[in-house]
Amino acid sequence: MIHNGMEFDTYFKNYPDKDGFFGKYGGAYITEELKAAMDEITEAYFTICKSAKFISELRRIRKEFQGRPTPISHLERLSGKLGNVQLYVKREDLNHTGAHKLNHCMGEALLAKYMGKKKVIAETGAGQHGVALATAAAYFGLECDIYMGSVDIKKQAPNVARMKILGANVVEVTHGLATLKEAVDAAFAAYAREYKDSIYCIGSVLGPHPFPMMVRDFQSVVGIEAREQFIEMTGELPDAIVACVGGGSNAMGFFSGFLNDPVDIYGVEPLGRGATLGDHAASLKYGEEGIMHGFNSLMLKDENGEPAPVYSVASGLDYPSSGPEHAFLHDLGRVTYDVIDDEDTIDAFFALSKTEGIIPAIESSHAVAYAIKLAQKMGRGSILINLSGRGDKDMDFIIEKYGIR
């Protein structure tokens, strides 16, 4: 299938290239020492992940532990209110731990086991990645060090408790602003020291090669399942698909199943309080090319060219860059990246809860809000939304800040 002059039949063979580039985006901008460690992971990934044993073990885990395949639900009542467009959701909220993140964490931890590593290392901001990785580490009997800024540790007490209950070691990072950026630096430094016995597990399609590729591949199960299920359910492909984009892992896994199809693809970034720098985290829509955390992508920069402060009501979406493959698909025009603000997000959170009995994560509510607007614009057809996670984690915050709508 050709989109905007680009051939997508061979897309996954060609991207990323051997150095981890999607066009000019991606790569591995890291120290020699870390590069050696990343090369070891790349090599292991290419051999181990093709082995029948690894593939069948991952399949079994997905079925028996995670509860995959997750279903697709038809949003009949919500669609009825909007007119003639039918909305559907891929239910990653029903994946074990309540979100898509476990898909790549189980893959990364299984890879660690096959590589003979004893420990997994990561950073976490809001704690969602930390909880998913701690779950995977518990399942495989691996040690787990999660680096977290002290500011975030105070803000995210329930997730800190979850990680500790799951047996993870939460390492407090106190320097600088003591939030995600410092936690990333500390986790990278720890990995450089400990890479012989450990593996670094990133939380999205971010970071140096091979992570954007590996996390996409582990998340591609979402897109593969969704495509099959949707065709089985309706007899055809959806006209459009929608997912929220923070780092971009749920979106990339979901989109990968449909890149070669005649399907319109939409990635939704958080507009937060508005289009002023500092009030949103829409790096694909408003960012410029830049390198951070070891990779080249589109990035929101401050006046000094450093990563800008960002904001979103959804803590899982407030990152000043996005995965390099999204930047590539953005420039190609294969995926349309657009924005939804906090207000529309909260309305969609209540709309899905009240009309369908599904309480979505605030992150996922961005995709739902966008699909509602798109449905009104399209007038007819079908839209499949990736519901990346459930909203239990967000309920206290929403009730306190917005009340019941």
Tell me how far apart the alpha carbons of residues 321 and 208 are, in angstroms, rounded to a whole number. Answer: 13
Asked whether position 249 contacts ligand PLP by CB under 6 A, the answer is yes
- The whole-angstrom separation of Cα 357 and Cα 24 is 43
**Does residue 245 bind ligand PLP (CB under 6 A)?**
yes
What gap in Å lies between CA 66 and CA 9, rounded to an integer?
31
Assess whether 79 carries a catalytic annotation. no
Active site residue: 90, 92, 108, 123, which one? 123
> Which positions from 16 to 55 touch ligand PLP by CB under 6 A, shown as an x/- string?
----------------------------------------
* Residue 170: closest CA among 136, 151, 145: 145
For ligand PLP, the closer of residues 244 and 348 by Cβ is 244
Considering the rule CB under 6 A, would residue 99 count as an interface residue with ligand PLP?
yes
Task: Classify 116 in phi/psi space as left (phi over 0), alpha (psi -120 to 50) or beta.
Answer: left
Nearest approach in angstroms of CB 130 to ligand PLP is: 11
Q: Which residue is nearest to ligand PLP (CB)?
A: 389
User: Where does residue 298 rank: exposed (0-12), middle (13-18), buried (19+ CB within 10 A)?
Assistant: buried
**DSSP three-state, residue 389:** strand
Find the shortest distance in angstroms from Cβ 312 to ligand PLP: 10
Sheet harboring 288-292: ordered strands across? 21-22, 25-26, 295-299, 288-292
Q: Quick one: which of 248, 257, 290, 294 contacts ligand PLP (CB under 6 A)?
A: 248
The least CB distance from residue 145 to ligand PLP, in Å, is 20
Tell which positions 192-211 bind ligand PLP, by CB under 6 A: 204
Q: Which two tokens stand for residue 154?
A: 């105070």
In the complex with ligand PLP, the residue whose CB is nearer, 79 or 322, is 322
Residue 261 CB, nearest approach to ligand PLP (Å): 21
Among 26, 27, 207, 316, binds ligand PLP (CB under 6 A): 316
Total binding residues for ligand PLP by CB under 6 A? 19
Given the residues 73, 79, 90, 101, the one annotated as active site: 101
The residue from 16, 247, 287, 307 that contacts ligand PLP (CB under 6 A) is 247
279's CB contacts (< 8 A; 6+ apart) are 272, 273, 311
**Who contacts 165 (Cβ-Cβ below 8 Å, separation ≥6)?**
none
**Amino acid of residue 334:** R
Q: Which is nearer to ligand PLP, 37 or 244 (CB)?
A: 244
375-404 positions binding ligand PLP, by CB under 6 A:
388-389
In sequence order, the 6+-apart residues with CB closer than 8 A to the CB of 387 are 89, 90, 91, 92, 93, 358, 360, 361, 364, 367, 368
CA distances from 241 to 106, 231, 272, 332 (A): 25, 13, 22, 17
**Interacting stretch for ligand PLP, rule CB under 6 A, among 155-163, 189-197, 234-242, 360-368?**
360-368
123 labelled catalytic: yes
Token digits of residue 313: 């009501």
Among 42, 86, 250, 382, binds ligand PLP (CB under 6 A): 250
Catalytic annotation present for 232: no
**CA nearest neighbour of 129 among 154, 113, 109:** 109
Cβ atoms < 10 Å from Cβ of 164: 13
Residues found near ligand PLP in the complex (CB under 6 A): 99, 101, 128, 204, 244-251, 316-317, 361, 363-364, 388-389
Residues with catalytic function: 101, 123, 388
